[in-house]
A and B are shown apart, each in its own frame.
Chain A
Amino acid sequence: MTDFTMNKDAQGIATITWDAVGKSMNVMNQAGFEDLEAHIDDALGDDAVKGIIITSGKEGSFAGGMDLNVLAQMKADAGEDPAKGLFDGIMSIHALLRKIERAGMDPKTNKGGKPIASVLPGTAVGIGLELPLATHRIFCADNPKAKIGLPEIMVGIFPGAGGTTRFVRKMGAMAASPFLLEGKLLAPAKAKSAGMIDEVSADPMADARAWVLSAKDADMLKPWDAKGYKMPGGAPYHPAGFMTFVGASAMVNGKTQGAFPAAKALLSAVYEGALVPFDTALKIEARWFTNILMNPSSTAMIRSLFLNKEALDKGAVRPAGVLDQRVKKIGVLGAGMMGAGIALVSAQAGIEVVLIDQSQEAADKGKAYSASYMDKGIARKKATPEKKEALLSLITATSDLEALKGADLIIEAVFEDPKVKAEITAKVEAVIPEDCIFASNTSTLPISDLAKASKRPEQFIGIHFFSPVEKMLLVEIIKGAETGDRAVAKALDYVRQIRKTPIVVNDARFFYANRCIIPYINEGVRMVGEGVEPALVDNAARQLGFPVGPLQLNDETSIDLGVKIAKATKEALGNAYDAGAADDVLFYLFDQGRMGRKANAGYYEYDEKGKRVGIWPGLRDKFPVSDDQPTLIDVQHRLMFSQCLEAVRALEEGVLMDIREGDVGAILGWGFAPWSGGPLSWLDMLGSAYAAERCDELEAQFGARFKCPDLLREMAAKNQSFYGRFSNKTDAA
């Protein structure tokens, strides 16, 4: 069966319909390109055909993009010279799209072509928009749910099938930049205003047919193929264009902190392409696209942020054979910040929510969080009063535990005190159905210990949200010693309902995410104690692609929490506790009453509105900046290894069961350098041999916390990579 079929009708219109077999949305693959080209050749060569319409057989969508395996295949097929394979493959896509765009026109007179229109029932992204962009007119259904755009940059590549060159030629570099650099997607009406598509209507097929039957030569000619074409906003050496391009490099560099190779490659393709004729620009786009596909960062980003994230979202680690566990009624215990957020995202997924707190007033306050969230959405025209009412009607705020009757999942988000938690667990289990799963949102207490308070430890699990709940994409699911498969499946099905990405880890101190984040913060704080310039610490982190440096992050998470964790860790580890300079700094800030952002005073000073204004001068007074500052790369390696080695130890100890979860969880959970593909991908990029060697150096210079884990040492000896060694287990791409 072929994905593309063609029908020629009596009026002389050949309609090519894209309808991928067995898929809910069209995805382009190698065979698809070949089918499409055969139909195009046929239609262009057939005198009875006056014009062509390319459309989709899927309801509500044209196409969702390219099967990224096509690119992998091009690479693999080329054997010794993968770059050449990719480049040739990409150029053949350009040739096909260019054939559509030129549609048989005479190259000199631009006459004699056949009109080709695209009809989009809805969503058209990636190649799903790049193909229509090569046609002469794009008609889209007025489908407000549809998304139109080129989101490639989100997975570390950029539009490489002419989308970059055509967007810039259509809109100008300035106007195209949010769509290319941020991957911004728009609903059809806005996509039309932006110039991505041409027409939005109730019956795009009828409009397209009418257009095809009446189109003149001039209607088919793209501006860039006409004589005297000038790029909107000016090419790079046009006075206005010059300022745009100076600004573009600076803004992209500043925003990405130089950490995203795809953004650089994209901008180069745009700049170099803007200086030459269209066909040459496509060739340049292909060269940079090849360059980015050959970059290990793009491979790692595609793997983690696209393939593996999608696999985890779809339940890659769900226990086999457990029936559908989707949640119908959830009980949320504790209406504080976390509980309120959990209630909100659950209601957004259409789940009935009972939000419990000790007093009606406290419970109501938690529910009010959802109301104010929806109000903000209404103000920004993202929601309607009706939607707000519908959402609020799903949430029952009460202090009455009886309301939990009939719930199939409980998430406890009360104060982080084992006694308090044990009490509420017992009280709630007395009310809820026997088969109800009970989850704790604890971030610090071992699940197996909390489960002791439960009558049904096999139904007890950790579901650890990150703050703010409605924004953070990751949920960490923690299996206690006795947690059963149904509880895991329940947690996974719930996370899927609320459209977040789950990772499942075993129970150990700080689970996975916090286990890695804490050493990251500590390493940064420790450097300040050693006399490293504080600005260098946070700037170094930002240049690694972290959204916030360790000092800023500590201000966000609060100094008192840091002190609490330090004390608890010291108590737990006893003599093995490595106090170090970090504690000196942390306890000093604590003693000074500088508790962080919430106190408007921490490592940083804040103005009355809570805006960070600069590093607190008292920090440098107390911990003088030494004359001998480390290199940027040394600071960065300390920050990276402190996290990555924890990830390796978590894997070694079986806390982490799947390397995909280690990488995806790190990026989504705490913004770990997305360009790297995650901590394990980053170590793979370094190579295990070099990583082990670097551990030895860091250990000798900075202490035992950088000691090379046995697993990494063994991998170095065998010259293995994480994705090589563990891929059979994980199907990682």
Chain B
Amino acid sequence: MTEAYIYDALRTPRGKGRKDGSLHEVTSLRLSAQTLNAVKERNNLTGHAVEDVIWGNVTQVMEQGGCLARSAVLASDLDERIPGLAINRFCASGMEAVNIAANQIKGGAGDGYIAGGVEMMGRVAMGSDGAAIAVDPSIAMEQYFVPQGISADIIATEYGFTRDQADALAVESQRRAKVAWDEGRFAKSVITVRDQNGIPILDHDEYMRPQTDMQSLGALNPAFQAMGEVMPGFDKIALMKYPHLERINHIHHAGNSSGIVDGAAAVLIGNKEFGIRHGLKPRAKIRATAKIGTDPTIMLTGPVPVTEKILADNGMSISDIDLFEVNEAFASVVMRFMQAFNVDHDKVNVNGGSIAMGHPLGATGAIIIGTLLDELERTGKGVGLATLCIASGMGAATIIERV
């Protein structure tokens, strides 16, 4: 069978997704185009070099609407014969772009793809694209819809994670991200975002708070307690789906949940011939991909069943994996993953994660695949698995193997 190889993976730094964030002045279009240009330049791509650009993005309205993928190609230096496909699988959109591209290649539909995604969360607000599952009673009531923060707290309650455990994981994420930046572990993949004159705008992840400790996190109030217990009372809905629970333990807050940021990422994927034609050396092959649906109320447990599935589908076991990237959407998501597979934290998110550096929804899936690859190379390890929890109850995973 044709193999799909990763030839390059890069990302922008992550800017605070707020009015005072460094990337707030940059449009989704420009950030996307600049990311694509970086792929083109670093790999000397000319002409109709790739089959398609598959671009993940969650909130596809306003400047992120109208098939941003195609606009981004046209705004970039890529050849206009390269089309663009905008996709949305919520937080795994960037990963799904990579997985679709890899599977197209494996299936023989084209030699090369650019896959990745963007999310300018400070410019296009999360949720501003609407969502039937949240407001249409015929699904919201039938499926016991609760917002993700409540779901994360259900996980903590159901699987017995405490506030202290979650805070400790957050402190460790911050510490690891600081070490990774200090040691230049992201140097290979992070590009500098520049203005139209070439003036640098941002060259590092600015959301990080390396000084975070248990005491500073301890001062934060649970973020989802009021909406759970008072208005509109989502805990009651949670208990309808999980009636063996007496109450929901609200442990999550801004400090142990992923950060709202702006950012983009891209992965260059191709078959063997693609590498030969462009004079590129493959870094890893995409060994397997998977996605799965889960209970939409607890919503964020997807990494567990999707990992079980990807391992089973490919005759692998958890011990075959050297390193894990489990998106830190919320602390409990990662804790549940480690609990379910009895995996040590030493192997998971070793350079920190979305709690420290932020989670630009449509891009994160591509970011963590790149981070995983960089770390496999740095440590000389072979096989890595990246996975994310996904809104509305889904999970996605990718296994890569260095070549």
Number of residues from A at the complex interface, CB < 8 A = 33
Quick one: given A239-B128, A543-B243, are A271 and B137 in contact (CB under 8 Å)?
A: yes
Quick one: given A249-B140, A253-B144, are A258 and B232 in contact (CB under 8 Å)?
A: no
Binds A, one of B204-212, B244-252, B313-321: B244-252
Q: How far is the CA of A255 from the CA of B235 in the complex (A)?
A: 11
Residue interface mask A230-273, B partner, CB < 8 A = 1: 00000011010010011111111111011000001001100110
Contact A252 B247 (CB under 8 A): no
Which among A237, A248, A535 is the interface contact of B243 at CB below 8 angstroms? Answer: A535
Residues of chain B with a CB closer than 8 A to A268's CB: 136-138
Q: Tell whether B130 is near chain A: CB-to-CB under 8 Å.
A: yes
Q: How far is the CA of A543 from the CA of B243 in the complex (A)?
A: 9
Cβ of B97 to closest chain A Cβ, rounded Å? 27
Contact B146 A533 (CB under 8 A): no
Cβ of A601 to closest chain B Cβ, rounded Å? 17
State which residues 538-557 of A face B: CB under 8 Å.
539-540, 543
Q: How far is the CA of A27 from the CA of B245 in the complex (A)?
A: 48
The closest CB in chain B to the CB of A245 belongs to B135
Residues of chain A with a CB closer than 8 A to B145's CB: 246, 249-250
Quick one: given A236-B135, A271-B135, are A615 and B246 in contact (CB under 8 Å)?
A: yes
Residues of chain A with a CB closer than 8 A to B144's CB: 253
Quick one: given A257-B240, A258-B141, are A246 and B134 in contact (CB under 8 Å)?
A: yes
Contact B130 A271 (CB under 8 A): no
Contact A242 B237 (CB under 8 A): no
Contact A250 B243 (CB under 8 A): no
Q: How far is the CA of A255 from the CA of B231 in the complex (A)?
A: 12
Cβ of A697 to closest chain B Cβ, rounded Å? 21
Contact B237 A614 (CB under 8 A): no
The closest CB in chain B to the CB of A266 belongs to B137
Cβ of B283 to closest chain A Cβ, rounded Å? 43
Q: How far is the CA of A249 from the CA of B135 in the complex (A)?
A: 7
Residues of chain A with a CB closer than 8 A to B237's CB: 250, 253-254
Q: Tell whether A92 is near chain B: CB-to-CB under 8 Å.
A: no
Residues of chain B with a CB closer than 8 A to A253's CB: 140-141, 144, 236-237, 240
Q: Tell whether A629 is near chain B: CB-to-CB under 8 Å.
A: yes
Q: Tell whether A48 is near chain B: CB-to-CB under 8 Å.
A: no
Q: How far is the CA of A242 from the CA of B145 in the complex (A)?
A: 14
The closest CB in chain B to the CB of A265 belongs to B137
Contact A264 B240 (CB under 8 A): no
Q: How far is the CA of A258 from the CA of B127 in the complex (A)?
A: 25
Contact A252 B141 (CB under 8 A): yes
Residues of chain A with a CB closer than 8 A to B232's CB: 246-248, 250-251, 254
Cβ of A261 to closest chain B Cβ, rounded Å? 10
Residues of chain A with a CB closer than 8 A to B141's CB: 249, 252-253, 258, 264, 267
Q: Tell whether A503 is near chain B: CB-to-CB under 8 Å.
A: no
Q: How far is the CA of A225 from the CA of B224 in the complex (A)?
A: 41
Residues of chain B with a CB closer than 8 A to A614's CB: 246-247
Residues of chain B with a CB closer than 8 A to A251's CB: 231-233
Contact B244 A629 (CB under 8 A): yes
Q: Tell whether A21 is near chain B: CB-to-CB under 8 Å.
A: no
Cβ of B248 to closest chain A Cβ, rounded Å? 11
Contact A247 B240 (CB under 8 A): no
Residues of chain A with a CB closer than 8 A to B240's CB: 253-254, 257-258, 539, 543
Quick one: given A250-B234, A253-B237, A254-B232, are A533 and B244 in contact (CB under 8 Å)?
A: yes
Quick one: given A246-B134, A249-B145, are A535 and B244 in contact (CB under 8 Å)?
A: yes
Q: Tell whether A516 is near chain B: CB-to-CB under 8 Å.
A: no
Q: How far is the CA of A255 from the CA of B237 in the complex (A)?
A: 9
Residues of chain B with a CB closer than 8 A to A31's CB: none
Which among A242, A257, A543, A615 is the interface contact of B130 at CB below 8 angstroms? Answer: A242
Residue interface mask B238-281, A partner, CB < 8 A = 1: 01100111110000000000000000000000000000000000
Q: How far is the CA of A242 from the CA of B128 in the complex (A)?
A: 9
Contact A248 B236 (CB under 8 A): no
Q: How far is the CA of A247 from the CA of B245 in the complex (A)?
A: 22
Which among B137, B244, B245, B247 is the interface contact of A267 at CB below 8 angstroms? Answer: B137
Cβ of A450 to closest chain B Cβ, rounded Å? 43
Residues of chain A with a CB closer than 8 A to B245's CB: 535
Q: Tell whether A430 is near chain B: CB-to-CB under 8 Å.
A: no
Q: How far is the CA of A506 from the CA of B144 in the complex (A)?
A: 44
The closest CB in chain B to the CB of A532 belongs to B244
Residue interface mask A497-538, B partner, CB < 8 A = 1: 000000000000000000000000000000000000111100
Residues of chain A with a CB closer than 8 A to B140's CB: 246, 249-250, 253
Cβ of B155 to closest chain A Cβ, rounded Å? 17
Cβ of A73 to closest chain B Cβ, rounded Å? 29
Q: Tell whether A294 is near chain B: CB-to-CB under 8 Å.
A: no
Quick one: given A246-B135, A252-B141, A253-B240, are A535 and B246 in contact (CB under 8 Å)?
A: yes
The closest CB in chain A to the CB of B150 belongs to A250
Q: Tell whether A686 is near chain B: CB-to-CB under 8 Å.
A: no
Q: Tell whether A632 is near chain B: CB-to-CB under 8 Å.
A: yes
Contact B137 A249 (CB under 8 A): yes
Pick from B233, B239, B243 the residue with the most CB of A within 10 Å.
B243
Contact A536 B233 (CB under 8 A): no
Q: How far is the CA of A253 from the CA of B140 in the complex (A)?
A: 9
The closest CB in chain A to the CB of B247 belongs to A614
Contact B233 A237 (CB under 8 A): no
Residues of chain B with a CB closer than 8 A to A534's CB: 246
Which among B128, B231, B234, B243 is the interface contact of A536 at CB below 8 angstroms? Answer: B243
Q: How far is the CA of A271 from the CA of B144 in the complex (A)?
A: 17
Residues of chain B with a CB closer than 8 A to A629's CB: 244
State which residues 123-163 of B face A: CB under 8 Å.
127-128, 130, 134-138, 140-142, 144-146
State which residues 79-125 of B face A: CB under 8 Å.
none
Cβ of A570 to closest chain B Cβ, rounded Å? 32
Cβ of B401 to closest chain A Cβ, rounded Å? 39
Quick one: given A539-B239, A615-B246, are A237 and B138 in contact (CB under 8 Å)?
A: no
Residues of chain B with a CB closer than 8 A to A533's CB: 244
Residues of chain A with a CB closer than 8 A to B130's CB: 236-237, 242
Cβ of B218 to closest chain A Cβ, rounded Å? 23
Residue interface mask B8-19, A partner, CB < 8 A = 1: 000000000000
Q: How far is the CA of A236 from the CA of B134 in the complex (A)?
A: 10
The closest CB in chain B to the CB of A244 belongs to B135
Residues of chain A with a CB closer than 8 A to B236's CB: 250, 253-255, 257
Q: How far is the CA of A525 from the CA of B233 in the complex (A)?
A: 28
Q: How far is the CA of A535 from the CA of B247 in the complex (A)?
A: 9
Cβ of A215 to closest chain B Cβ, rounded Å? 38
Q: How far is the CA of A248 from the CA of B237 in the complex (A)?
A: 12
Pick from B128, B137, B239, B245 the residue with the most CB of A within 10 Å.
B137
Q: How far is the CA of A632 from the CA of B236 in the complex (A)?
A: 16
Cβ of A541 to closest chain B Cβ, rounded Å? 10
The closest CB in chain A to the CB of B135 belongs to A245
Contact B231 A247 (CB under 8 A): yes
Q: How far is the CA of A252 from the CA of B146 in the complex (A)?
A: 13
Q: How far is the CA of A272 from the CA of B246 in the complex (A)?
A: 34
Contact B243 A540 (CB under 8 A): yes
Residues of chain B with a CB closer than 8 A to A540's CB: 243
Cβ of B219 to closest chain A Cβ, rounded Å? 25
Quick one: given A258-B141, A539-B239, A614-B247, are A250 and B233 in contact (CB under 8 Å)?
A: yes
24 A-B residue pairs with CB within 8 Å: A236-B130, A239-B128, A245-B135, A247-B231, A249-B145, A250-B140, A250-B145, A250-B146, A250-B232, A250-B233, A250-B234, A253-B140, A253-B144, A253-B240, A254-B232, A254-B233, A255-B236, A268-B137, A534-B246, A535-B244, A535-B245, A535-B246, A536-B243, A536-B244
Q: Which 5 A-B pairs have the closest CB atoms?
A: A254-B236, A539-B243, A247-B232, A535-B246, A267-B137
Known interface pairs A237-B135, A268-B136; 18 further A-B residue pairs with C-beta atoms within 8 A, sorted by A's residue number: A242-B134, A245-B134, A246-B134, A249-B135, A249-B137, A249-B141, A250-B145, A250-B233, A251-B231, A252-B141, A254-B233, A254-B234, A264-B142, A268-B137, A535-B245, A539-B243, A614-B246, A614-B247
Give the B-binding residues of A (Cβ under 8 A).
236-237, 239, 242, 245-255, 257-258, 264, 267-268, 271-272, 533-536, 539-540, 543, 614-615, 629, 632
